């Protein structure tokens, strides 16, 4: 898009904001701690409950052109394509007839964050119902014109067709007010056997552009007169700027200006590499005072256990029956990074006293609020538009980069400012997935049934998203020094640190407590799955230990403790497709199984895998993975497979390789050599995903279902291969080797 | 300093500081999106392009070394309307999630199959070891490269 049309858009924004049928409430994900609104109880399907007007979602013009609006953002998860499919389905048009408009405070409904695997249940459900109701209204219009019974009419390819073959196009039927009506609770959805788009693996609409060098990402935006900014971040979390002499930097070729605002320091140049050179020079010129604010990373679990805490009861159900055997263990998860391949980036333009920010944020409206507070700009003067970035998997540096760009752009009116974070800035400053400790004590009775389940977890909140300006680095570092929000313990249905901490398995008693830790020495926020990753890892490891105590096959043991038929079905599907058996495997090779229903109410996912452990190096190589997933009615089966394969491999990476290193002053894992992740040599020979389609069932979302089960399956395969129960993530070579040597030593002493 | 390059088959004269890495020349001076900034440290491969048919990390290669060289980016492999075999294969396999790493993957794979049209699965995997993907698209990328190799060999195999 050229600068001219961008400006055109911007000018139009005001009118759009005003005419837009605004949301009744702020859409929420149940992921936000603190003073954020609670989850709404929808009386209307999906996000229609928050934005009930049909024309918030669908607009049809007199020329027949159709626009579909979603407040959700494409994050590489394929949501734009999936929502397009449901809209085309119910509107009875070809997908190519629809233009999709995603997350833009100037145009789309406020759907909070694109997070928590909520886009399909909320946004796609809203669009599907809105589209079906729009179709009914159009048919009703035609019925009126023809004086025919609407039941005798049908819609096809953008027109309504009468029994005699006469047609009226949508464009001819629509009026400016036709769709400006509130949705009804019931929609005339197409019957499952009539579906033509839903259930098809339509190719993603964004991929052709991405593989041919199209302008696909915010990083690719080039506006007329655009300048390049780089931020000089403090050298550590607690650092404060003492002095900086900018004279040398100001004189460098192409430098447009230096911005200093409290501890916020940035430089702007005409060309990108000049901005980088100026940033380096500016970093050298800046003097900071630093302080030790971080705990001893070698004793992190102990540190977390002794932090001041507030206890939240997640479950307190039933009474235990006497146990014949019990299993007790503590599991740990380190801080882990989102580690987007493309560091965060944003473009901002301050023009005519109005700000526009293009960002790969997961929440354009929350960002608008936070940046607005920071710059004292109301929503009428600040528009946040989503543009894709590199995959984020949660709250990475996106919002911070957007705030950086806005703060800088305000100093350079009329000039679009592009801020690109450097690799070490992304690694050093992104909010990390919080470290966690869990403690389980569970038992089986004499018949091999689970007799009791007691579980505690120690964790920070898993969401410090904006909201407030203090959630943004620029807000914190600027002279106004906005303070981060005090995190608050909240027990919700979706869960946060406690997500999936209550096992789905049948037990006469379940006692689950979240020891909520307020102190956040390292910056943390939402990472794919939140607490579910560590909780499911702990639960699934324990299930295998209980199965061993019960002398029962681990898959059979799980099935014995599942009542939900869909849960049983994914477990059986994964086991059968894998060829699960008790046949002996080659030496040092093991099988592992893992299962969870995400949030205990979303997608079901089961994973079986085979792994080989090299006893000399300690290297764990996952050889093949077979999984089954049920995320309700499958809109785009290949999209679900793609997301699940991705979740499996990312979780494999977390589980085998990843822990953010830090010393007492700073995060020291600041690039791919100090924070290694999965490379191709560690990729299994095959990863299979079997989608169980449930026509007529609600969309459940798929993006985060595999993270926990994969960690459990790997741990269980290592146990099967070596007899070692590893409880501390990640299972790095060093850890595995040390555990193997220790076990061998113990054996020697015992035998000697 | 002015340096003359051949970029995707077209002569280009670039006037900029000689220490500027090729990545910024491509993105900033020539407005090409294909090469991505990922780390600037030679650790991730997102910036991979071909220099005279060899895969090169453009974030580490200064302009002054490139006088008269021939550069190929993903834009040089085809267009949306007329995708080349490597692009076709990635579309057919739907081998992208966010897609940010993909152009770098494609260029490294392109170099491999140009050098070795019969590259086997192990060679493909080994060649891609230098490139990172955070979305976990690896299995699809491997399938796409194998498919591209077959397409290039004449649609079959
Ligand atoms: S950007 Fe060049 S290797 Fe990462
Ligand atoms: S597809 Fe997102 S980084 Fe590879």
Q: What is the mean pLDDT of residues A731-738?
A: 97
**Percent with pLDDT over 70 in chain B:** 98
B28 contact A CB<8A = yes
Query: DSSP labels for A331-372?
Result: EEE--B----SSPPEEEEEEETTEEEEEE--S-HHHHHHHHH
**Residues of B with CB below 8 A from A645's CB?**
136-137, 139-140
Instruction: Kindly state if the Cβ of B106 falls inside 6 Å of ligand 2.
Output: no
> Do residues A495 and A602 lie in contact, with contact meaning Cβ atoms separated by under 8 Å?
no
pLDDT of res. A30: 36
Reference A404, options A566, A511, A268; nearest CA is A268
Q: How distant is the alpha carbon of residue B124 from its chain centre?
A: 14
**Residues of B with CB below 8 A from A678's CB?**
136, 138
**Residue among B99, B108, B128 whose CB has most ligand 2 atoms within 8 A, to mutate:** B99
* Residue of chain B minimizing CA distance to A650: B136
The set of protein residues with a Cβ atom below 6 angstroms from ligand 1 is B 37-40, 42-47, 57, 59
Tokens 């399938």 belong to residue: B143
A686-723 pLDDT per residue, tens: 999 999 999 999 999 889 999 999 999 999 999 999 99
Chain B closest CA to A680's CA: distance in Å?
Answer: 5
Pick the CATH number of A436-462+497-749 from 3.30.70.1450, 3.40.50.450, 3.20.20.100, 3.30.365.10: 3.30.365.10
CB contact under 8 A, B133 and A341: yes
A617-663 pLDDT per residue, tens: 999 999 999 999 999 999 999 999 999 999 999 999 999 999 999 99
Other Cβ atoms less than 10 A from the Cβ of A693: the count is 16
CB contact under 8 A, A211 and B106: yes
A197-256 pLDDT per residue, tens: 999 999 999 999 999 999 999 999 999 999 999 999 999 999 999 999 999 999 999 999
Q: Does residue B120 carry a pLDDT above 70?
A: yes
B48 contact A CB<8A = no
* Residue of chain A minimizing CA distance to B22: A273
| Token pair for B5 | 């390059």
Going by C-beta distance under 8 Å and a sequence separation of 6 or more, which residues neighbour residue A747?
none
**Residue among B25, B34, B44 whose CB has most ligand 1 atoms within 8 A, to mutate:** B44
The Cα A363–Cα A367 span in angstroms is: 6
| Token pair for A672 | 């791919």
A207, A391, A646 ranked by CB distance to B91: nearest: A207
Q: What is the mean pLDDT of residues B25-39?
A: 98
- In this structure, which long-range contacts are made by residues A172-179, counting pairs with CB atoms below 8 Å and at least 24 apart in sequence? A172/A62, A172/A64, A173/A138, A173/A141, A173/A142, A173/A145, A174/A60, A174/A61, A174/A62, A174/A138, A174/A141, A178/A137, A178/A138, A178/A141, A179/A53, A179/A54, A179/A55, A179/A58, A179/A59, A179/A60, A179/A134, A179/A137
> Do residues A288 and A264 lie in contact, with contact meaning Cβ atoms separated by under 8 Å?
no
> Do residues B87 and B144 lie in contact, with contact meaning Cβ atoms separated by under 8 Å?
no
Tokens 């029956």 belong to residue: A321
Residue among A75, A212, A345, A677 with most chain B CBs within 10 A, to mutate? A212
> Do residues A587 and A620 lie in contact, with contact meaning Cβ atoms separated by under 8 Å?
no
A1-40 pLDDT per residue, tens: 333 333 333 333 322 222 223 333 333 333 333 333 344 4
Q: Where are the beta strands (DSSP E) in A472-552?
A: 509-517
Name the 3-class secondary structure at B137: coil
B78 contact A CB<8A = yes
pLDDT of res. A751: 62
Tokens 């061998």 belong to residue: A744
Reference A456, options A546, A549, A331, A544; nearest CA is A331
> How far does residue B23's CA lie from ligand 1's centre (Å)?
9
Reference A652, options A714, A609, A703; nearest CA is A714
Q: What angle do CA A263, A409, A216 make, to 5 degrees?
A: 110
> How far does residue A83's CA lie from ligand 2's centre (Å)?
21
B27 contact A CB<8A = yes
Q: How far is CA B117 from CA A247, A429, A657, B56, B146, in A?
A: 56, 43, 34, 19, 10
B60 contact A CB<8A = no
Q: Does residue B109 carry a pLDDT above 50?
A: yes
Q: What are phi and psi of A64, to 5 degrees?
A: 90, -5
Q: Domain A219-289+339-429 is in which class?
A: alpha beta
pLDDT of res. B155: 58
CATH of span A10-20+41-207 = 3.30.365.10
pLDDT of res. B154: 83
A334-393 pLDDT per residue, tens: 999 999 999 999 999 999 999 999 999 999 999 999 999 999 999 999 999 999 999 999
pLDDT of res. A693: 97
> Do residues A752 and A619 lie in contact, with contact meaning Cβ atoms separated by under 8 Å?
no
Chain B closest CA to A339's CA: distance in Å?
Answer: 7
The Cα B106–Cα B101 span in angstroms is: 9
> How far does residue B45's CA lie from ligand 2's centre (Å)?
12
Tokens 């993909």 belong to residue: B102
Q: What is the mean pLDDT of residues A594-606?
A: 97
Q: What is the mean pLDDT of residues A670-681?
A: 98
Confidence category of residue A114, pLDDT binned at 50, 70, 90: confident
B36, B41, B140 ranked by CB distance to A423: nearest: B41
Name the average pLDDT for chain A: 93
pLDDT of res. A26: 32
Going by C-beta distance under 8 Å and a sequence separation of 6 or more, which residues neighbour residue B40?
A276, A422, A423, B21, B23, B47, B59, B60
**Percent with pLDDT over 90 in chain A:** 89
The Cα A430–Cα A724 span in angstroms is: 34
| Token pair for B141 | 């990328």
Chain A closest CA to B151's CA: distance in Å?
Answer: 16
Residue among A680, A684, A686 with most chain B CBs within 10 A, to mutate? A680
Looking at the CA of residue B130, tell me the nearest atom of ligand 1.
3
B73 contact A CB<8A = yes
Looking at the CA of residue B45, tell me the nearest atom of ligand 1.
3
pLDDT of res. A745: 85
Please determine, looking at this structure, whether the domain spanning B85-153 carries the CATH number 1.10.150.120. yes
Q: Per DSSP, what are the bridge partners of residue A524?
A: A432
The Cα A358–Cα A257 span in angstroms is: 22
Q: Where are the beta strands (DSSP E) in A429-565?
A: 436-444, 450-459, 509-517
User: What does the domain layout of chain A look like in residue ranges?
Assistant: 10-20+41-207, 219-289+339-429, 436-462+497-749
* Residue with the larger pLDDT of the pair A466 and B49: B49
| Token pair for B66 | 């490139």
Confidence category of residue A549, pLDDT binned at 50, 70, 90: very high
> How far does residue A340's CA lie from ligand 1's centre (Å)?
13
pLDDT of res. A701: 84
Half-sphere exposure (Cβ direction) of A47: Cα atoms closer than 13 Å: 32
A213, A273, A642 ranked by CB distance to B94: nearest: A642
A529-545 pLDDT per residue, tens: 999 999 999 999 999 99
In the CATH scheme, what architecture does the domain B2-76 have?
Roll (3.10)
Chain B closest CA to A456's CA: distance in Å?
Answer: 31
CB contact under 8 A, B133 and A206: no
CB contact under 8 A, A672 and B44: yes
Closest ligand to the CA of B35: 1
| Token pair for A248 | 């040398």
Q: How far is CA B41 from CA A678, B37, B129, in A?
A: 18, 10, 16
Tokens 């139009």 belong to residue: A12
**Residues of A with CB below 8 A from B102's CB?**
210-211
User: What does the domain layout of chain B look like in residue ranges?
Assistant: 2-76, 85-153
Q: Does residue A746 carry a pLDDT above 60?
A: yes
**Percent with pLDDT over 70 in chain A:** 94
* Residue of chain A minimizing CA distance to B45: A341
């Amino acid at each position: 898009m050229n600068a001219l049309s961008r400006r055109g858009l911007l000018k139009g924004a005001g009118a759009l904001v005003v005419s837009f049928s605004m949301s009744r409430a702020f859409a929420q994900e149940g992921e936000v701690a603190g003073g954020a609104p609670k989850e709404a109880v929808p009386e209307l399907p999906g996000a229609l409950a928050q934005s009930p007007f049909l024309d918030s979602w669908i607009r049809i013009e007199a020329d027949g052109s159709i626009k579909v609006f979603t407040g959700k953002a494409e994050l590489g998860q394929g949501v734009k394509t999936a929502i397009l499919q449901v809209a085309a389905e119910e509107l009875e048009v070809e997908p190519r007839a629809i233009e999709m408009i995603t997350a833009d405070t100037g145009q789309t409904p406020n759907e909070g964050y694109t997070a928590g695997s909520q886009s399909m249940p909320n946004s796609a459900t809203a669009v599907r119902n809105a589209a079906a109701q729009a179709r009914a209204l159009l048919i009703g219009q035609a019925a009126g014109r023809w004086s025919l019974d609407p039941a005798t009419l049908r819609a096809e390819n953008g027109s309504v067709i009468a029994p005699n073959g006469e047609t009226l196009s949508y464009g001819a039927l629509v009026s400016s007010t036709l769709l400006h009506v509130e949705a009804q609770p019931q929609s005339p959805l197409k019957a499952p056997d009539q579906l033509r788009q839903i259930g098809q693996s339509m190719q993603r609409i964004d991929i052709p552009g991405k593989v041919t060098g199209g302008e696909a990402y915010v990083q690719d935006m080039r506006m007329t007169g655009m300048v390049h900014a780089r931020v000089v971040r403090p050298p550590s979390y607690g650092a404060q700027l003492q002095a900086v002499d900018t004279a040398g930097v100001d004189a460098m070729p192409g430098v447009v200006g230096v911005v200093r605002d409290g501890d916020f320091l940035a430089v702007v140049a005409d060309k990108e590499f000049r901005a980088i050179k100026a940033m380096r020079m500016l970093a050298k010129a800046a003097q900071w005072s630093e302080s030790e604010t971080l705990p001893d990373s070698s004793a992190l679990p102990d540190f977390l256990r002794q932090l001041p805490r507030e206890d939240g009861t997640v479950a307190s159900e039933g009474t235990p029956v006497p146990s014949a055997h019990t299993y007790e263990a503590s599991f740990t998860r380190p801080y882990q990074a989102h580690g987007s391949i493309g560091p965060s980036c944003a473009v901002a333009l301050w023009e005519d006293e109005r700000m526009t920010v293009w960002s790969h944020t997961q929440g354009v409206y929350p960002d608008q609020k936070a940046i607005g507070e920071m710059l004292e700009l109301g929503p009428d003067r600040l528009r946040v538009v989503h543009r894709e970035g590199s995959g984020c998997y949660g709250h990475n540096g996106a919002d911070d980069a957007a705030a950086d760009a806005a703060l800088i752009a305000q100093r350079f009116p009329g000039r679009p400012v592009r801020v690109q974070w450097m690799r070490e800035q992304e690694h050093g400053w992104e909010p990390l997935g919080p470290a966690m400790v869990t403690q389980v004590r569970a038992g089986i009775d004499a018949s091999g049934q689970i007799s009791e389940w007691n579980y505690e977890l120690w964790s920070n909140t898993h969401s410090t998203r904006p909201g407030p300006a203090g959630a943004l680095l620029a807000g914190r570092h600027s002279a106004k020094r906005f303070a981060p929000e005090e995190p608050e313990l909240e027990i919700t249905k979706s869960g946060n640190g406690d997500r999936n901490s209550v096992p789905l398995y049948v037990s006469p008693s379940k006692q689950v407590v979240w020891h909520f830790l307020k102190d956040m020495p390292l910056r943390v926020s939402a990472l794919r799955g939140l607490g579910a990753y560590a909780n499911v890892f702990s639960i699934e490891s324990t299930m295998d230990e209980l199965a061993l105590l019960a002398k029962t096959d681990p898959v059979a043991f799980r099935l014995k403790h599942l009542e939900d038929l869909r849960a049983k079905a994914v477990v059986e599907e994964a086991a059968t497709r894998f060829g699960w058996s008790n046949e002996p495997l080659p030496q040092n090779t093991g099988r592992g199984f893992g299962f969870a229903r995400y949030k205990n109410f979303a997608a079901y996912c089961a994973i079986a895998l085979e792994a080989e452990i090299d006893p000399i190096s300690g290297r764990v190589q996952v050889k093949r993975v077979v999984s089954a997933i049920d995320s309700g009615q499958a809109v785009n089966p290949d999209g679900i497979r793609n997301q699940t394969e991705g979740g499996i491999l990312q979780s494999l990476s977390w589980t085998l390789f990843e822990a953010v290193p830090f010393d007492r002053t700073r995060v020291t894992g600041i690039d791919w050599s100090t924070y290694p992740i999965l490379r191709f040599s560690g990729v299994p020979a095959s990863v299979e995903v079997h989608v169980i389609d449930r026509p007529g069932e609600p969309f459940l979302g798929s993006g985060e279902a595999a993270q926990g089960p994969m960690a459990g399956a790997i741990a269980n395969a290592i146990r099967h291969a070596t007899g070692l129960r590893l409880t501390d993530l990640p299972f790095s070579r060093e850890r595995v080797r040390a555990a193997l040597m220790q076990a061998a030593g113990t054996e020697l002493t015992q035998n000697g | 300093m002015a340096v003359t390059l051949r970029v995707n088959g077209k002569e280009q004269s670039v006037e900029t500081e000689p220490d500027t890495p090729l990545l910024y020349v491509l993105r900033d001076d020539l407005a090409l999106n294909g090469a991505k900034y990922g780390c600037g440290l030679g650790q991730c491969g997102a910036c991979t392009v071909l220099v005279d048919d060899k895969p090169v990390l453009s974030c580490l290669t200064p302009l002054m070394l490139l006088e008269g060289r021939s550069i190929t980016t993903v834009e040089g492999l085809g267009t949306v309307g007329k995708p080349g075999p490597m692009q076709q294969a990635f579309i057919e396999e739907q081998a992208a999630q966010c897609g940010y790493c993909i152009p770098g993957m494609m260029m490294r794979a392109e170099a491999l199959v140009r050098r070795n049209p019969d590259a086997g699965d192990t060679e493909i995997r080994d060649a891609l070891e230098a490139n990172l993907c955070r979305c976990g698209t690896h299995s699809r990328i491997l399938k796409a490269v194998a498919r591209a190799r077959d397409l290039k060999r004449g649609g079959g195999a």
